[in-house]
Amino acid sequence: MEQFPVSYDFAEKYIRFSRPEYIQVYLYVKYQTHKTGVFPKPDAIAKGLGMTADRVIFILDFWVSRDELIYDENGYRFPEETAAATPPAPKPKKRRQVTRPSYTMAEIDAAATQNKAISGLFYQAETVLGRVLTTTDMEMLYSFIDWLGLPVEVVTMLLSYAVKRGKTSRRYLETVAIDWADRGIDTFEAAESYVMELEAIDSAEHKIRSILGIYDRALTPTEKKYIKLWTEDSQISLDLIPLAYDRTVAHTGKLSWAYMNKILESWAAEGITTPEQAKQWNGVLKQQKDPAQQSSLPKKSKFNNYEDSNQTDYDKLEEQLLDMMLDNEV
């Protein structure tokens, strides 16, 4: 059976984020070009797929804006393989002004006419956000490209991420865009990798909030600092959080992030990764006695109601040690 090639890079970039009809048109023209050796005319594509010619041209222009197709005086065609294999020269980074510049619609329209990627972005944004873009929306999105220097595919990824989080206000989108630009996220691969990181952190944060019973308020910067410390820096197992929380409340009568952090740090220092290991370690801690002290201790009284004052209270000792550690931080 004869086959036609579709690159892995194309699938990674577009299968999950593009509309089905966009993929349908691309695969159809890929198939027809491979079969006949000639790129089909828009009218023929429209007839073959049951679309209007205008719609087909719009979709083809979208693929031109993504550099997946080329349009010149001879019509549409696929990029030459040699050209596609040559990486584009890196663009020199320019210093950007602190505040977002203002743009007129005439400026935006002129830019969209010159660069079809911009008009493609506006259409994609309406699809992803599920609303018709206002003039202010288009000005903001255009600024992500012109002011922040983000590629269209990165902006599209940003919009998809924001929709997943349920945060699509202009203020939020601009804050995230500035952050991504400052982090140097300027390729689809870098954006995808960073989104995966953020989603993992969000998942861990959600689990910890549930464990600690924090549902009706936002986390403070200090609380987020501790969660970042546990989930990213120390990579502490989330399975240990409930036990550490339980011991914290038992010893302090409340949620103390600093106290709970000391418990988790002490477990991490011992290589403890499961609740079972933590409980076992606590049991060993209670049983440990200094050999010299062990020999000097009086024998256990045979009277049941006698309390040996020389017996070490390891629960209390551990609590005191943690308190001392906390005092040293202040």
- What are the start-end ranges of the E strands in 62-168? 70-72, 75-77
| Whole-number pLDDT of residue 278 | 92
Q: Residue 249: how many CA atoms within 13 Å on its side-chain side?
A: 9
| Whole-number pLDDT of residue 98 | 77
CA dist., res. 64 & res. 71, Å (int): 7
CA dist., res. 318 & res. 248, Å (int): 12
Give the Cα-Cα-Cα angle 51, 53, 56 (nearest 5 degrees).
Answer: 70
| Whole-number pLDDT of residue 308 | 47
Distance of CA 148 to the CA centre of its chain: 20
CA dist., res. 107 & res. 100, Å (int): 15
Per the listing, tokens 């890079």 go with: 9
CATH topology of domain 8-85: Arc Repressor Mutant, subunit A (1.10.10)
CA dist., res. 180 & res. 193, Å (int): 12
Domain 106-186 has CATH 1.10.10: yes
| Whole-number pLDDT of residue 71 | 87
| Whole-number pLDDT of residue 116 | 86
For residue 163, the one-letter residue type is V
Please tell me whether residue 71 adopts helix, strand or coil conformation: strand
Give the Cα-Cα-Cα angle 207, 208, 213 (nearest 5 degrees).
Answer: 100
Distance of CA 311 to the CA centre of its chain: 52
Series of mean pLDDT values for 10-residue runs along the chain (330 residues): 77 78 92 90 93 89 85 85 46 66 94 90 93 96 96 94 94 96 91 88 88 90 93 90 95 94 93 93 72 49 45 54 53
| Whole-number pLDDT of residue 8 | 79
| Whole-number pLDDT of residue 203 | 86
Assess whether the region 8-85 and the region 106-186 belong to the same CATH fold: yes
CA dist., res. 60 & res. 29, Å (int): 10
Please tell me whether residue 272 adopts helix, strand or coil conformation: coil
Rounded to 10 degrees, the C-alpha dihedral 30/34/36/39 comes to: 40
Question: What letters, b where the CB count within 10 A reaches 16 and e where it falls short, cover 19-53?
Answer: eeebbebbebbbebbeeeeebbebebbbeebebee
Per the listing, tokens 């329209």 go with: 109
Structural domain boundaries in the chain: 8-85, 106-186, 221-290+312-329
Do the beta carbons of residue 282 and residue 315 sit within 8 Å? no
CA dist., res. 322 & res. 330, Å (int): 13
